[in-house]
């Protein structure tokens, strides 16, 4: 296997008894027992016991006495059966041990900042000493799983005729709705590249350039706040197809997901994945990435409350509710009201049905029999209402729904729920800037028939964008693109871009669209999110070898750092004092 070892530590079994083997790995533990020295030797495949007997291997015993945790060792000897009382049924190698004849220390270790088998180590310490953390089972499992998934995806993409093409990291800018990381360039002081937020425009140019099936495991950079599902840099399975129907793109993604499940020996989700419109999903779940592993759908009561004696209901543009399978106490309702206010609600109306089915609520006296009939719920449940603008009502009830789904253990963890969300709105209203902005990116196709709304009613125009959601996480998005330069120019105008600005920023795209652009569309799947979910992790940092912390730094090397004045001078950059 190598100069140092014949097999991995995790492999010796009873049938190897009698074999002479060399092993190499890390000392996980050392125990001295009445003259005999036992060492647990570990690598990523497992642990094997070394036994050193000073009576027949005096040199090895001298070396063994020096061994401490995480020393790197090389051992040579014979695989022998363990004495019956020493058999360890919990260990795959537990029936045998290596009777050491020669032992050498290949590398020593200082006392460690944490023990490798300690589960409770703080994340900052784990990240600061990531090389130790990587040695542990969790990171070994996650990163190897990640590699398995990436290689299965590559294989499947290539079977499907996709060509792996590289696109630049240093680009003009790719508007994906985040801030760019900017990169100064010595040869052109005062000018900056952006690090690609995605390969979006380049993959479109591949389609125009006649590569009809492109894919790439692409690194993307986005300067946005870091969260459990976000890092500054991440990888996407980025794809683009020429001449596709929307469903062709969705099927390719389903293939990639299926291949990943299969590579991990797991039952893939059944196909086709459910498909629902954005409007439908927002109305039922108040979120465009709903977790479908539990029900608790939002119900509408706007019509039913038009003549309500409860003024808040009667006058609200939308009244909706969710029924929660728990009769909440006063204190719990206070807390939920605080949560609702945080989500933007002015208050939280409720009806509590106790175990006897009796209703308890300050608003019950205002509600008619017909209204109460409409809201009736099982004993031991609570109906929570939101009454306001529809978007706000959705946000509040959607937020409470997912919070309570988690808190009350309603999520059925044994289920995997994939969902395609289709027909997103083309634009979103940006209240701060008082203008329309794109909801996916500005190259997203318009739903046929909605073209006129671009100017006349931007808020109701639908797009050809779609998202893939898994268990409440957005895995990625894509769209059928605009391949007509006239339409593209209209979108830029609707986004408030002057003709000059559009030409300056995206002239090359408009030009390319005028020179034989086929219909095209694609998708990007956030790989770290997907892999985190496959690994059963809640945070993508657990599947990234060297992640940034929530504050945006890299604890291992201490990046980012200031740079030397002469480098700044060469780049023509002056750094202003930090005034935040
Ligand atoms: N470029 C898009 C993104 O990164 C994906 C796509 O539209 O293909 O989200």
| Phi, psi of 197, deg, nearest 5 | -75, -20
Per-residue pLDDT, averaged over 334-362, amounts to 95
pLDDT (0 to 100) of residue 136? 96
pLDDT beyond 90 at 578: no
Does ligand 1 come within 6 angstroms of the Cβ of 308? no
pLDDT (0 to 100) of residue 487? 97
pLDDT beyond 80 at 181: yes
Per-residue pLDDT, averaged over 404-416, amounts to 94
**Which of helix, strand or coil describes residue 207?**
helix
pLDDT beyond 80 at 174: no
297: pLDDT confidence band, cut at 50, 70 and 90? very high
Does ligand 1 come within 6 angstroms of the Cβ of 526? no
Residue closest via CA to ligand 1's atom 7 equals 478
Q: How far is the CA of 411 from the centre of ligand 1 (A)?
A: 29
The residues with which 79 forms a beta bridge, in sequence order, are: 98
Pocket test for ligand 1, best of 204, 288, 441 (most atoms within 8 A of CB): 441
Q: How far is the CA of 203 from the centre of ligand 1 (A)?
A: 10
pLDDT beyond 90 at 33: no
Q: How far is the CA of 494 from the centre of ligand 1 (A)?
A: 20
pLDDT of 71-124, one tens digit each?
999 999 999 999 999 999 999 999 999 999 999 999 999 999 999 999 999 999
Atom number of ligand 1 nearest to Cα 522: 8
Q: How far is the CA of 201 from the centre of ligand 1 (A)?
A: 10
Does ligand 1 come within 6 angstroms of the Cβ of 478? yes
537: pLDDT confidence band, cut at 50, 70 and 90? very high
- For residue 283 the two structure tokens come to 């109305």
pLDDT of 257-279, one tens digit each?
999 999 999 999 999 999 999 99
Backbone torsion region of residue 558, taken as left when φ is above 0, otherwise alpha when ψ lies between -120 and 50, otherwise beta: left
pLDDT (0 to 100) of residue 175? 77
pLDDT of 121-141, one tens digit each?
999 999 999 999 999 999 999
Does ligand 1 come within 6 angstroms of the Cβ of 198? yes
pLDDT (0 to 100) of residue 121? 96
Residue closest via CA to ligand 1's atom 6 equals 478
**Which residue is listed with tokens 């930090």?**
578
Which stretches of 90-232 are assigned E, i.e. beta strand?
96-107, 163-164, 170-171, 182-184, 192-195, 213-221
Beta-sheet strand order (sheet of 192-195): 170-171, 192-195, 182-184
Q: How far is the CA of 467 from the centre of ligand 1 (A)?
A: 10
Atom number of ligand 1 nearest to Cα 197: 4
Q: How far is the CA of 526 from the centre of ligand 1 (A)?
A: 10
- Share of residues in the chain with pLDDT > 90 (%): 94
Atom number of ligand 1 nearest to Cα 199: 1
How far is 281 from 264, CA to CA, in rounded Å?
A: 30
Q: How far is the CA of 522 from the centre of ligand 1 (A)?
A: 8
The residues with which 154 forms a beta bridge, in sequence order, are: none
Does ligand 1 come within 6 angstroms of the Cβ of 479? yes
574: pLDDT confidence band, cut at 50, 70 and 90? very high
Atom number of ligand 1 nearest to Cα 523: 8
pLDDT of 144-171, one tens digit each?
999 999 999 999 999 999 999 999 999 9
**Which of helix, strand or coil describes residue 548?**
coil
420: pLDDT confidence band, cut at 50, 70 and 90? very high
Higher pLDDT, 66 or 1: 66
What average pLDDT is seen over the chain?
A: 95
Q: How far is the CA of 200 from the centre of ligand 1 (A)?
A: 6
228: pLDDT confidence band, cut at 50, 70 and 90? confident
Atom number of ligand 1 nearest to Cα 236: 4
Pocket test for ligand 1, best of 238, 439, 528 (most atoms within 8 A of CB): 238
Does ligand 1 come within 6 angstroms of the Cβ of 523? yes
Q: Quickly list DSSP for 279-296.
A: HHHHHHHSSSS--TTS--
- Pairing assessment for the beta strands 520-526 and 473-480 based on DSSP bridges: antiparallel
């Amino acid at each position: 296997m190598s100069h140092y070892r014949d097999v991995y530590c995790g492999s010796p079994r009873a049938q190897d008894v009698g074999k002479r083997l060399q092993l190499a790995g890390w000392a996980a533990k050392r125990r001295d027992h009445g003259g005999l020295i036992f060492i647990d030797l570990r690598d990523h495949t497992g642990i094997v016991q070394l036994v050193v007997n000073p009576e027949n291997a005096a040199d090895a015993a001298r070396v063994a006495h020096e061994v401490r945790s995480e020393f790197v060792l090389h051992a040579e000897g014979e695989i022998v059966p363990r004495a019956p009382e020493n058999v360890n049924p919990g260990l795959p190698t537990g029936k045998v041990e290596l009777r050491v004849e020669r032992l050498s220390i290949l590398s020593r270790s200082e006392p460690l900042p944490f023990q490798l088998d300690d589960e409770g180590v703080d994340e900052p310490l784990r990240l600061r000493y990531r090389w130790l953390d990587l040695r542990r089972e969790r990171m070994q499992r996650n990163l190897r799983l990640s590699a398995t998934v990436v290689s299965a995806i590559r294989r499947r993409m290539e079977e499907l005729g996709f060509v792996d093409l590289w696109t630049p990291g240093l680009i003009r800018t790719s508007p994906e709705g985040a801030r760019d990381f900017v990169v100064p360039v010595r040869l052109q002081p005062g000018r900056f590249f952006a690090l690609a937020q995605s390969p979006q425009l380049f993959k479109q140019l591949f389609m125009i350039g006649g590569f009809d099936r492109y894919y790439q495991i692409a690194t993307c950079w986005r300067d946005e706040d870091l969260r459990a599902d976000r890092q500054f840099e991440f990888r996407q399975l980025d794809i683009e197809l020429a001449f596709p129907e929307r469903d062709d793109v969705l099927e390719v993604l389903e293939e990639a997901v299926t291949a990943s499940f299969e590579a991990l020996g797991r039952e893939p989700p059944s196909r086709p994945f459910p498909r629902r419109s954005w409007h439908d999903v927002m109305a039922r779940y108040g979120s465009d990435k709903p977790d479908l592993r539990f029900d608790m759908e939002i119900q509408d009561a706007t019509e039913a409350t038009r003549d309500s004696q409860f003024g808040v209901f009667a006058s609200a543009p939308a009244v909706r509710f969710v029924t929660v399978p728990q009769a909440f106490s006063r204190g719990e309702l206070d807390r939920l009201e605080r949560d609702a206010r945080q989500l933007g609600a002015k208050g939280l109306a409720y009806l509590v049905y106790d175990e006897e089915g009796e209703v308890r609520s300050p608003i019950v006296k205002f509600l008619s029999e017909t209204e109460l009939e409409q809201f009736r719920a099982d004993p031991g449940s609570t109906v929570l209402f939101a009454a306001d603008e529809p978007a706000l009502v959705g946000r509040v009830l959607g937020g409470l729904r997912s919070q309570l789904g988690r808190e009350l253990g309603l999520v059925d963890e044994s289920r995997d729920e994939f969902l395609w969300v289709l027909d997103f709105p083309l634009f979103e209203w940006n209240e701060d800037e008082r203008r329309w902005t794109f909801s996916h990116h500005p190259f997203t196709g318009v739903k046929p028939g909605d073209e006129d709304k671009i100017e006349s009613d931007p808020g109701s125009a639908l797009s050809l964008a779609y998202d893939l959601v898994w268990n409440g996480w957005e895995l990625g998005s894509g769209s059928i693109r605009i391949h007509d330069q006239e339409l593209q120019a209209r979108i830029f105008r609707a986004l408030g871009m002057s003709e000059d600005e559009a030409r300056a920023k995206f002239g090359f795209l408009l030009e390319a669209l005028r020179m034989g652009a086929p219909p095209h569309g694609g998708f990007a799947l956030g790989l770290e999110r997907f892999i985190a979910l496959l690994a059963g992790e809640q945070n993508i940092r657990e599947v990234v070898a060297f992640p940034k912390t929530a504050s945006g730094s890299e604890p291992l090397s201490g990046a980012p750092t200031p740079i030397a004045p002469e480098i700044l001078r060469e780049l023509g950059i002056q750094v202003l004092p930090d005034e935040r």
